[in-house]
């Protein structure tokens, strides 16, 4: 498969994810209310909304376009999750800087780079039941693939499996950590966001 | 909730409007959530930027002024400023000699200050450093001192870093001095009552009328113990002993001491604490330089106090005594 991530693909992807966030914002807020502030859906909806509002003005340089997307998330909120999303987008921006098309075969490495930058910024480790566990699983599932549809489907399935796998465990980071044993059985709101974002790019068969 | 306000959502912005209207000689507001010096950045001077949640006045915003800070990014009550607001504050403080980010060690603040620094570096090759303030001994054991939270001791770091920048040090020198000032401070506080965040309308924690909590954080983070309220001398004794155990003050040392109100505790009670604390310092043979007693770093209307000891060397003492002014504090 030739081709890659360019400005048009980025804009189309952002619009699809923004629409999915609009549809799932309340659900994400409710999941977050059980383990945190209850405003994570608002953060995601506003952040993606800000990107879509700027979509027409995004530059052709994919790196600079991703940098603009990153800044949308730093503008709309001071929330930690918003800053983590901005951090991930910034890591991808650095890797793409100066290119107008980034081969799809690099998608897995881009997501892995985002995950690592977010891990450092959040001073976190994998396995603590956070969005990082979803992103790591998604990046692993995307490895070796270079077709956008296949990549998105693999990411979606991996995010779903990670959410299932971690649901019964205890949250070990951030505000959710304060809930201790009570967090067992609850979906981590950040992991839920990862799944819903991936579903924006690869709509589920039943959804 | 019983507070003097209009709409909870307008609390911070209306506070800033009033602050700038009352003290235009000290504060300008180049962006809605940035307070900077009215004359703009000082050319060729290292800029010093802080930021954090509202609800702590005079911290953080109040300490913008000559000999102190250059700009501050302001979040909602007890919430971090956004990375964009921090980046705006950094640009407002940039006189061409680089910017030091100097702020308290809270997870959200650290992420947003780091993000702001990275964004400006990628976009504009903007040079900045950071020093994170960690003076609260109750928030971590000595071997994890870097994980401790920042409380009232940050006032000393603001003062000394500000003076170091004023005397013309470069970014590396001002950063090193700020780190030395931060390392010189140890604080411990007590809380008697909670405070209420306007937008939630609820107290930050619950505590029995008869109780106090030793070591509670300025946002209601859990402390060391909670029990019946003790007498002032017993409280001062325990804080002295805990601070001495963390890093002892010895005969001949020169120290500054800050007895700080967390909001509702009156100066009278702060002086009762100071009286006893000063006796301990005198008994161990230390000299007190420029003691500070008053409301320097608050937690809205919380009743309680923090005691900070700042161990001085010749450089830090000179920086402490250097002229500085803001609406809340004058040193001349």
Span B68-79, pLDDT tens digits: 999 999 999 999
Residues B202 and B179 grouped into a single domain? no
- Are the C-beta atoms of residues B216 and B189 closer than 8 Å to each other? yes
Question: pLDDT (tens digit, 9 = 90+) per residue, B84-115?
Answer: 999 999 999 999 999 999 999 999 999 999 99
Residue A57 in any domain: the answer is yes
Instruction: Calculate Rg over the CA atoms of chain A.
Output: 16
Residues B14 and B104 grouped into a single domain? yes
A83 closest CB neighbour out of B79, B83, B122: B83
CA distance A161 to chain B (A): 29
Structure tokens at A90: 């910034």
Residue B294 in any domain: the answer is yes
Residue A86 in any domain: the answer is yes
Decide if B280 is catalytic.
no
Count CA within 13 A, CB hemisphere, residue A17.
26
CA distance A207 to chain B (A): 34
- Are the C-beta atoms of residues A181 and A125 closer than 8 Å to each other? no
Which residues span the domain enclosing B160? 8-184
CATH of residue B278's domain is 3.30.1180.20
Question: pLDDT (tens digit, 9 = 90+) per residue, B253-286?
Answer: 999 999 999 999 999 999 999 999 999 999 999 9
Residue B67's CB: how many other CB atoms inside 10 A?
A: 22
Residue B169 in any domain: the answer is yes
Residue A98 touches partner B, C-beta closer than 8 Å: no
Q: Which of B155, B184, B213 is the last residue of a domain?
A: B184
ipTM for the assembly: 0.85
Q: Which of B127, B158, B184 is the last residue of a domain?
A: B184
> How many domains is chain A built from?
1
Residues B68 and B165 grouped into a single domain? yes
Pairwise CA distance, residues A170 & A167, whole Å: 8
Residues B143 and B18 grouped into a single domain? yes
Residues B120 and B245 grouped into a single domain? no
Residue B78 in any domain: the answer is yes
Checking if the pLDDT of A19 tops 60, the result is yes
Residues B101 and B137 grouped into a single domain? yes
Pairwise CA distance, residues A180 & A171, whole Å: 7
B29-47 as b/e, with b when 16 or more CB fall inside 10 Å?
bebebbbbbbeebbeebbb
Residue B56 in any domain: the answer is yes
- Chain A residue closest in CA terms to B52: A78
By three-state DSSP, how is residue B149 classified? coil
In chain B, what residues touch A82 (CB-CB under 8 Å)?
82
Residues B253 and B163 grouped into a single domain? no
pTM for this structure?
0.92
The chain-wide mean pLDDT, for chain B, equals 96
Band of pLDDT at residue B123, cut at 50, 70 and 90: confident
Q: Chain A to chain B, count of Cβ pairs less than 8 Å apart?
A: 56
Residues B102 and B193 grouped into a single domain? no
Question: pLDDT (tens digit, 9 = 90+) per residue, A159-195?
Answer: 999 999 999 999 988 777 777 888 899 999 999 999 9
In chain A, what residues touch B85 (CB-CB under 8 Å)?
78
Decide if B56 is catalytic.
yes
> How many domains is chain B built from?
2
Q: Which of B136, B152, B184 is the last residue of a domain?
A: B184
Band of pLDDT at residue A196, cut at 50, 70 and 90: very high
CATH of residue A87's domain is 1.25.40.340
Q: What pLDDT is recorded for position B97?
A: 97
Residues B218 and B255 grouped into a single domain? yes
What is the distance of C-alpha B115 from the center of its chain?
21
Band of pLDDT at residue A2, cut at 50, 70 and 90: low
Residue B85 touches partner A, C-beta closer than 8 Å: yes
Residues B166 and B223 grouped into a single domain? no
Question: Looking at B23, B31, B56, B280, which residue is catalytic?
Answer: B56
Residue A68 in any domain: the answer is yes
Q: What pLDDT is recorded for position B180?
A: 98
Q: What pLDDT is recorded for position A179?
A: 79
Checking if the pLDDT of A207 tops 60, the result is no
Checking if the pLDDT of B303 tops 80, the result is yes
Residues B302 and B161 grouped into a single domain? no
In chain B, what residues touch A71 (CB-CB under 8 Å)?
84, 119
In chain A, what residues touch B89 (CB-CB under 8 Å)?
none
């Amino acid at each position: 498969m030739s081709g890659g991530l360019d400005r048009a693909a980025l804009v189309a992807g952002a619009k699809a994810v923004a629409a999915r966030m609009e549809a799932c914002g309340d659900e994400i807020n409710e999941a977050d209310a059980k383990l945190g502030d209850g405003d994570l859906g608002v953060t995601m909806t506003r952040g993606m909304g800000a990107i879509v509002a700027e979509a027409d003005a995004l530059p052709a340089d994919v790196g600079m376009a991703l940098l603009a997307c990153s800044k949308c998330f730093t503008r709309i909120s001071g929330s930690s999750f918003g800053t983590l999303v901005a951090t991930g987008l910034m890591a991808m921006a650095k890797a793409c800087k100066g290119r107008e098309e980034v081969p799809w075969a690099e998608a897995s490495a881009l997501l892995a780079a985002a995950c690592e930058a977010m891990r450092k910024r959040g001073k976190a480790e994998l396995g603590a039941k956070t969005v990082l566990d979803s992103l790591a699983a998604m990046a692993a599932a995307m490895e070796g693939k270079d077709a956008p549809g296949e990549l998105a489907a693999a990411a979606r399935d991996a995010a779903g499996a990670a959410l299932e796998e971690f649901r019964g465990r205890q949250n070990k980071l951030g505000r959710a950590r304060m809930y201790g044993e009570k967090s067992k059985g609850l979906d981590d709101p950040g992991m839920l966001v990862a799944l819903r974002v991936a579903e924006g790019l690869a709509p589920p068969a039943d959804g | 909730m019983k507070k003097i306000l209009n709409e909870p959502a307008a609390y911070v912005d209306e506070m800033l409007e009033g602050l700038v209207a009352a003290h235009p000689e000290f504060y300008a507001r180049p962006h809605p959530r940035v307070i900077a010096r009215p004359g703009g950045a000082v050319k060729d001077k290292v800029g010093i930027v802080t930021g954090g949640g509202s609800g702590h006045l005079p911290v953080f915003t109040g300490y913008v002024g000559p000999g102190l800070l250059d700009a501050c990014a302001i979040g909602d009550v007890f919430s971090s400023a956004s990375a964009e607001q921090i980046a705006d504050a950094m640009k407002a403080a940039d006189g061409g000699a680089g910017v030091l980010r100097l702020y308290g060690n809270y997870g959200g603040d650290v992420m947003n200050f780091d993000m702001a620094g990275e964004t400006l570096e990628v976009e504009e090759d903007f040079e900045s450093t950071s020093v994170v303030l960690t003076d609260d001994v109750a928030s971590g054991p000595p071997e994890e001192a870097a994980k401790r939270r920042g409380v009232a001791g940050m006032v000393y770091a603001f003062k000394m870093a500000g003076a170091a920048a004023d005397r013309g040090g470069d970014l590396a020198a001002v950063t090193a001095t700020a780190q030395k000032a931060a390392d010189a401070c140890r604080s411990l506080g007590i809380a008697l009552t909670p405070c209420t965040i306007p937008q939630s309308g609820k107290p930050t924690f619950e505590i029995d009328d008869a109780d106090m909590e030793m070591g509670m954080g300025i946002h209601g983070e859990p402390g060391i113990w909670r029990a019946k309220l003790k007498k002032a001398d017993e409280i001062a004794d325990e804080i002295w002993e805990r601070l001495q155990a963390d890093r002892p003050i010895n005969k001949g040392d020169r120290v500054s001491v800050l007895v700080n109100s967390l909001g509702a505790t009156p100066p009278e009670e702060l002086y009762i604490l100071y009286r006893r604390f000063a006796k301990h310092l005198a008994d161990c043979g230390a000299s007190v330089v420029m003691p500070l007693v008053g409301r320097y770093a608050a937690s809205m209307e919380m009743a309680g106090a923090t005691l900070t000891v700042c161990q001085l060397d010749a450089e830090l003492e000179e920086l402490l005594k250097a002229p500085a002014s803001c609406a809340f504090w004058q040193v001349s």
